[in-house]
């Protein structure tokens, strides 16, 4: 192979590695410790950003993630 082809392939491999790292960080499950605004327990179950439930006995409220540390009632 020519030198330009080798450089091109090396750059493509580095780009692929960066994409794999970025994809792994996106698919990693986020760790959020937001207390329930209704009962103030840290028992929120995050199924998705629009499907968050409180697991506390007697609460069971549903929430939506607004910001990184903020939820609102659904």
Contact of 34 with 17, CB cutoff 8 Å: no
pTM comes to 0.53
**39-58 residue pLDDT tens:** 888 778 888 888 888 888 88
Residue 18: its pLDDT value, please? 85
Across-strand partners of 48? 51
Nearest CA-CA partner of 74 in 42, 48, 41, 50 = 50
* Spans of the chain below 70 pLDDT: 1, 24-31
């Amino acid at each position: 192979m020519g030198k330009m082809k080798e450089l091109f392939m090396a750059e493509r491999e580095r780009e692929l590695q960066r994409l794999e790292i970025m994809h792994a960080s996106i698919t990693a499950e986020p760790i959020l410790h937001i207390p329930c605004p209704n009962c103030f327990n840290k028992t929120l179950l995050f199924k998705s950003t629009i499907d968050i439930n409180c697991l506390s006995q007697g609460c069971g409220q549903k929430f939506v993630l607004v910001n990184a540390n903020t939820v609102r009632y659904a």
